[in-house]
Amino acid sequence: MSDSLVPEIEVPDMLIGSVAVIGVPNAGKSSLLNALLGTKLSIVSRKAQTTRHKILGVYSDEKSQIQFLDTPGFQLTHRSMLNSAMNRSVSSSLVDVDVVVFVLEAGLIQKDDLKLIEMFPDNVPVICAVSKIDQLSSPNEALPFMDRVNDLFTFTDIVPTSAKRTTGLDNLISSIQSKLSAGKPTYDEDALTDRPERFFAAEIIREKLFHLMGDEIPYGVAVEIEEFTVNKGLRSINATIVVAKNAHKGMIIGAQGSKLKAIGTKARVEMEYFFDGKVFLKLWVKVKKGWVDDSKSVKYFGYE
pLDDT by residue (tens digit) across 227-277?
999 999 999 999 999 988 888 888 899 899 999 999 999 999 999 998 999
What's the topology of domain 14-183?
Rossmann fold (3.40.50)
Average pLDDT for residues 39-59, to the nearest whole number?
Answer: 64
**Maximum CA pair distance of the chain?**
80
pLDDT band at 140 (very low <50, low <70, confident <90, very high): confident
Averaged pLDDT score across all residues of the chain: 83
pLDDT band at 301 (very low <50, low <70, confident <90, very high): low
Going by C-beta distance under 8 Å and a sequence separation of 6 or more, which residues neighbour residue 289?
A: 244, 245, 246
| Residue-level pLDDT at 213 | 81
pLDDT band at 41 (very low <50, low <70, confident <90, very high): confident
Instruction: Name the class of domain 197-300.
Output: alpha beta
pLDDT band at 171 (very low <50, low <70, confident <90, very high): very high
Domain ranges for the chain, please list them.
14-183, 197-300
Going by C-beta distance under 8 Å and a sequence separation of 6 or more, which residues neighbour residue 259?
A: 212, 213, 251, 252, 253
Average pLDDT for residues 13-32, to the nearest whole number?
Answer: 88
pLDDT band at 47 (very low <50, low <70, confident <90, very high): very low
Average pLDDT for residues 35-64, to the nearest whole number?
Answer: 72
pLDDT at residue 11 tops 50: no
